[in-house]
Structure 1
Amino acid sequence: MFQKAMLIYNGNAGQRDAEKILSQTAPILASKIPKLFLYQTQKPGDAEHFCRQHGEEVELVIVMGGDGTVHEAINGLAPLDTRPGLAILPAGTCNDFARSLNIPLNLKQAAELIAFNGVEREVDLVETDDRYFSNFWGTGLIAAASESIDEASKGMFGRLSYYMSALRTLSEQDTFRFKLEFDGRTVEDDAVMLLFMNGRSIGATEFPMDSIQMDDGLLNVLVVKEAGFTLLKEIFTAKTSVDWEENESTITQYMTSACKVTLDEAQTIDLDGEHYKGAHDTIRILKQHISVMVPSDVADINE
């Protein structure tokens, strides 16, 4: 078991909330980890800073928070020469990375997983020109939907706010011109959304695609050519695996380990919930780049 770990938690939560959450989890973790150091974030970027500064000093980094805090930690850990393991105590609205790895969403159960019966699995991360991501890179419809989420509504309605926002933007999203260069081929077309997926879950909804795996060294690239309620239903309400046939769907799928993306003009890019403007990016998979604690009874993280 781990001898030395650090626990990063969100200091922007109310003091009583933070104390309550820590009282549920820290004793469980401390019972099996002799040296457990607590780091409290106060502002954006703190989690990334803690991981860069202290990541190589511990065997395990435990992140208590949502996808934004996990994303920060990933960007702090990915560049390190010696990377500790990563464990997640899901405390956000969607917890998409945790969902993709079958990590319990109950905080006490997640802590027990780390302390007693979890196992380490090596998973892929993805490098862009300037940042890293664990779950997805997207522009067009998905970025517009994410940007328009009202924070108050997000806190009150959780995952429902994502769907409400998507419904509002579906009829408003313009097409844009793009070029993809990968595996010796070039694809140029118009789209309303580009999506590079490493994880299965977005907005607390699992994409029903068997080809999305988190340790195969491949990205799933989805090109959405036109928007409509049929598309929303196809993605968010499918109950079984979906096989999107080229020329018979609003979605075209490619799989690659690296891709250069060029947009006709700068667009909002959504990188695991982090937004920035850009017109080009180079996206490259880092196969099995980090070890994450997952349930021991899951033989394969993608099953």
Structure 2
Amino acid sequence: MRALLVVNPKATTTSERVRDVLVRALRSEFDLAVERTRRRGHATTLAREAAAGGVDVVCTLGGDGTINEVVNGLMTGAPVETRPALAVVPGGSTNVFARALGLPKGWAEGASVILEALHAGRIRTIGLGRADDRYFTFCAGLGLDASVVRRVEQARLRGRTSTPALYMRSAVSQYFTAIDRRHPAISLEQPGEATEAELSTVIIQNTAPWTFIGDRAINPNPGASFDLGLDVLALRRLRVPSTTRTVTQLLSRHSEPHGSQVIRLHDVSEFSLVAERPQAFQLDGDYLGEREKVRFTSVPGALRVIC
């Protein structure tokens, strides 16, 4: 069985020794090639070439951004059964996708589970989300959510380490200083439904949870699933009292977001977000610039995953 290991050498929680150990373990099971990413988008090219070359499994060692790039490279026009399966070894700071699949958050335990799954023939087919022409595995966002991701990425470029505290500080800073909370600019348009206008931020989930703060899962839409359509959480006006209440609900283990400023949609097949002015946009925790319109669709049965 042929496999490609795509390694992000800047992965947060791995080292050269870790990579060597993983390569030796995988070579005991595969005819393995190893490639290191050199720039943004490189993992997409590597995965696309692997799919064209008849590789059976593409394995990633990196974070959610590396996984997203590989998934987009695997999504060729070929039937899902003939495309390489994906195996994910957690190597980032949060590893939302791997943990949503039920994998351990540590690289060693995750690699062990993958090898066991290969011996047992455990392959799961999951659905993906698509934003315009790009696929995502677990989440997308337009507005405040994405502006926080942008600020964290800027901090990381200055040498900061990605931590829950950094995300929390960035969220507070963006909320009070960087967004227009008085004039919501986003509308949600869904075929056959009335338009939801004057939205400040929109979070889209392809699975649950949306993210993690340390070991705590954050679950705006706990019914979201790889086996269903997309789930949506949208907030209208970001007034301090209502926003504080929503954040408290998000952090609670016993309450789901609700209230007059909250919109939630479950198992949606397609919709569009249209903004009056450019809004920050993210997919799977990677900032992708600003957009004024994005069309979202659910893509069922799109990807085979070893887990």
The two structures have a TM-score, normalised by structure 1, of 0.86
Q: 2:6 aligns with which of 8, 18, 22?
A: 8
Kept after mapping to 2: 8 A contact 1:153/1:161: no
Q: Give how far 1:202 is off.
A: 4.1
**What is the number of equivalent residue pairs in this alignment?**
284
CA distance 1:45–1:112, change in 2 (3 Å): same
CA distance 1:155–1:215, change in 2 (3 Å): farther
State the secondary structure of the residue aligned to 2:265: strand
1:224 matches 2:224: no
Structure 1 stretches lacking a partner, 5+ long? 295-303
- CA deviation map 1:272-299 (0-9, x unaligned): 21322211121111102001122xxxxx
CA distance 1:160–1:120, change in 2 (3 Å): farther
Q: Give how far 1:199 is off.
A: 2.7
1:55 matches 2:55: no
Q: Give how far 1:177 is off.
A: 2.5
**Alignment partners' CA distance in 2, 1:13 and 1:127:** 25
The residue type equivalent to 1:168 in the other structure is: S
Q: Give how far 1:186 is off.
A: 2.9
When the two chains are superposed, the root-mean-square deviation of aligned CA atoms in Å is: 2.2
**Alignment partners' CA distance in 2, 1:179 and 1:13:** 36
1:19 matches 2:16: yes
- CA deviation map 1:248-268 (0-9, x unaligned): 343210131111221112212
- Of 5-14 and 252-261, more deviation after overlay is shown by 5-14
**Alignment partners' CA distance in 2, 1:41 and 1:284:** 29
Could you say which residue in structure 1 is the equivalent of 2:249?
A: 234
Q: Give how far 1:164 is off.
A: 1.6
- CA deviation map 1:168-195 (0-9, x unaligned): 2223332432332224113232122111
Q: How does 1:1-303 map to 2 (within 5 A)?
A: 3-12=1-10, 18-33=15-30, 35-56=31-52, 57-81=54-78, 82-117=82-117, 119-149=122-152, 150-151=155-156, 155-156=160-161, 158-172=163-177, 173-174=179-180, 175-205=183-213, 206-208=217-219, 209-216=221-228, 218-227=229-238, 228-235=243-250, 237-240=251-254, 242=256, 244-245=257-258, 248-255=259-266, 256-272=268-284, 273-294=286-307
The residue type equivalent to 1:27 in the other structure is: R
**Alignment partners' CA distance in 2, 1:123 and 1:176:** 34
Kept after mapping to 2: 8 A contact 1:25/1:111: yes
**Alignment partners' CA distance in 2, 1:13 and 1:211:** 30
Structure 2 stretches lacking a partner, 5+ long? none
**Alignment partners' CA distance in 1, 2:135 and 2:27:** 30
Kept after mapping to 2: 8 A contact 1:124/1:285: yes
State the secondary structure of the residue aligned to 2:110: helix
The two structures have a TM-score, normalised by structure 2, of 0.85
Q: Give how far 1:153 is off.
A: 8.1
Kept after mapping to 2: 8 A contact 1:68/1:274: no
Kept after mapping to 2: 8 A contact 1:88/1:98: yes
- CA deviation map 1:131-154 (0-9, x unaligned): 111121211110111111211688
**Alignment partners' CA distance in 1, 2:306 and 2:254:** 27
- CA deviation map 1:82-125 (0-9, x unaligned): 42111111111111111211211111111111112362111111
**Alignment partners' CA distance in 1, 2:35 and 2:93:** 21
